[in-house]
Amino acid sequence: MLVDSSGGIAIQNSVEVIALDSLQWRDRSLKAKFPFFQTYLLAEFLSDTSAAGVFRDPTRSADYAIPFTGSWKQAGQTDAGALVERRIYDATFSSRDTAASHKAVGVFEFLERRVQGTFLTETGDYRYLSGNRTGDSLWLSCLDGSHLFYFTGTLRGDSMVDGQFFSGIHWTEPWEAVLNASAELRDPDSLTFIRPGSGSFRFSAVRQDGQEVEFAQNELKDRVSIIQIFGSWCPNCSDESLFLKGMYERHGKRGLQIIPVAFERSDETQESLAVIRGQAADLELPYPVYLGGVKGSADRVFPMLNQVMAYPTTIILDKRGEVRKIHTGFYGPGTGVYHTRYAERLELFIIQLLSEK
C-alpha cells in the first residue's frame, strides 16, 4: 500500500499501481474502494506507522472478509534492485488430481531483492505477481481488487516444488514447475469453435434498459464485430476491455464494433445491470455493454460454441457476419512479450478484416 503526502492511497503489484478511489475517512478509520470492482478495504490506522483492517468482497458473500496488517517502510526499503535473471517454467497445478490438473507457463524475473512475473494459463493469466525469495523459499502475491493471490514454493535446482496457491480464503491448490525456456500452452485460437451444423451465428442479450435484443447474422453484417464474453468480477476481462477500447478508438470509424456481453455472479437482472453499468463508466467504454446472464450460463447463450471455458472469450466476425476467429482467454499486460505479440497479431487481423469487401 502506497500512501502519498496528499492522502492518496494505492496498491502496488510489481509495476502495476492501482489508485483506490472513493476514500471515506472517519477519524483514523478509512474505507477505500477498488476501481472497476465492488471490493473495498476497511482500515484502522493504529499509529503513524501501523494499520490493520479487512479486504471485503460483497459479490462473493456478505461476510467475505480477509484481515490484513501493515507497517510503515521508507520508500527506499521497497526498491527491488537490478535484474539478475529471467526464467520460464513449465508449471502444473493440481498435478496429483487428474481431473483438476492443468498446465501453465511461469514467466519470472529474479531481481536483487524481489521476484516478479506471472503464470499464463489457457484461460488467462494471474496478472502482476511479485514477492520475495529467502534462501530456497519463494513467496508471490497480488491484490488487484477482484483477486487476492498468494503463492508459496521451494526452489530446488531447476524446479519449483512444494508449491501452494491460495485465492483469497475460498480456494487453494498445489503447484509445481520445472525450468523450460520452450514451455508453451495450446493455441488459444483452437480451444473454442463453432459446432458443425449449428447454423448461422446468433444470440440474445439484455440492454441497459432491461429489454432483450437479438444479434443475428443479418444485423452483424457490413461491420467487423468483436463479441466479448466477460464478467465484471474478472480482472483479465477488465484488462481486455481497456485493450479493446483502444482498438475501437483506432478503428471504430472504419467499421469496427465491440459488443461486450457480461455474465455475472448475481441472478438478479437489475443488480447485475447496475454493476456492469458502473464498471463500464469506470472504464469509460464508448459503446453499450449487455448482460448475458449468470456466470456459467454462457454455453446456453452461445449454444453454437463447443464450449466457453474462459472469461474472457472473444468472437471475431467479418463484414458478412461470419465467425473468423474465436480466442480463449487473454494474455494481459502483466505477461509482457506475450501480451505485445497477441496485441500486434490481433490488430493486423482486424485491419485485414476491415479491408475486405
Nearest to 149 by CA among 132, 133, 127: 127
Tell me, what's the pLDDT at 81?
Answer: 85
Rounded CA gap, 348 and 268, in Å?
Answer: 39
Q: What residue ranges define each of the domains in the chain, with the CATH number in brackets?
A: 2-72 (no CATH), 82-179 (2.40.128.120), 203-355 (3.40.30.10)
Nearest to 244 by CA among 347, 357, 327: 347
Q: Which tens digits make up the pLDDT trace of 318-356?
A: 999 999 999 999 999 999 999 999 999 999 999 999 999
Q: Which tens digits make up the pLDDT trace of 80-126?
A: 889 999 999 999 999 888 888 999 999 999 999 899 999 999 999 99
Tell me, what's the pLDDT at 203?
Answer: 97
The mean pLDDT value for 221-235 works out to 97
**Reported confidence tier of residue 298, pLDDT bands at 50, 70, 90:** very high
The mean pLDDT value for 222-249 works out to 97
Tell me, what's the pLDDT at 76?
Answer: 59
Per the structure block, which three cell numbers stand in for 216? 443475428
pTM for this prediction: 0.94
| First-residue to last-residue Cα distance in the chain | 52
Q: Which tens digits make up the pLDDT trace of 30-86?
A: 999 999 999 999 999 998 889 999 999 999 998 999 999 999 887 656 678 899 999
By mean pLDDT, which of 135-139, 217-221, 259-263 is the weakest? 217-221
The mean pLDDT value for 18-28 works out to 92
Nearest to 147 by CA among 277, 311, 343: 311
Q: What is the mean pLDDT of the chain?
A: 95
Q: If you ran DSSP here, which 8-state letter would residue 340 be given?
A: H
